[in-house]
Amino acid sequence: MATFKAIRIDKADKGTTAALTQFDEAELMEGDVTVAVEWSTVNYKDGLAVTGKSPVVRRFPMIAGVDFAGTVLESSHSGWKAGDKVVSTGWGLSETHLGAYAQKARVKGDWLVRLPEGMTARQAMAIGTAGFTAMLSVMALEKYGLTPKHGPVVVTGAAGGVGSVAVAILSKLGFHVIASTGRAAEADYLRGLGATEVIDRNELSGPPKALAKERWAGGIDSVGSTTLANLLSMTKYGGAIAACGLAGGMDLPSSVAPFILRGVCLLGIDSVMCPIEPRKAAWARIAKDVDHAKLAEMTTEIGLDEVIGAAPKILAGQLRGRTVVKIS
For the chain, give the mean pLDDT: 95
Alpha carbons within 13 angstroms on the beta-carbon side of residue 193 total 33
Mean pLDDT of all residues in 3-22? 94
- Edge-to-edge strands of the sheet including 62-63? 16-24, 3-11, 62-63
pLDDT for residue 14? 86
Going across the sheet that includes 177-181, the strands are: 197-200, 177-181, 153-155, 216-221, 235-243, 265-268
Architecture field, domain 128-268: 3-Layer(aba) Sandwich (3.40)
CATH 3.40.50.720 domain span(s) along the chain:
128-268
- Residues forming CATH 3.90.180.10 domain(s) in the chain: 3-115+298-326
**Architecture of the domain delimited by 3-115+298-326:** Alpha-Beta Complex (3.90)
What per-residue confidence (pLDDT) applies to 278?
95
- Report which of 242, 31, 257, 254 is spatially closest to residue 139, judged by C-alpha positions: 242
Candidates 228, 269, 221; CA nearest to 90 is 269
Read off the pLDDT of residues 244-271 as tens digits, 9 standing for 90 and up: 999 899 999 999 999 999 999 999 999 9
Q: What is the rounded CA–CA span in Å between residue 42 and residue 187?
A: 22
pLDDT tens column, 206-237: 999 999 999 999 999 999 999 999 999 999 99
Q: What is the pLDDT of residues 85-102, one digit of tens each?
A: 999 999 999 999 999 999
Residue 287's CB is within 10 A of a number of other CB atoms, namely: 17
pLDDT tens-digit readout, 144-164: 999 999 999 999 999 999 999
Measured CA to CA, the distance from residue 317 to residue 259 in angstroms comes to 31
What is the per-residue pLDDT across 100-142, written as a single tens digit (0 to 9) for each?
999 999 999 999 999 999 999 999 999 999 999 999 999 999 9
pLDDT for 101: 97
- Quick one: average pLDDT of 43-69? 93
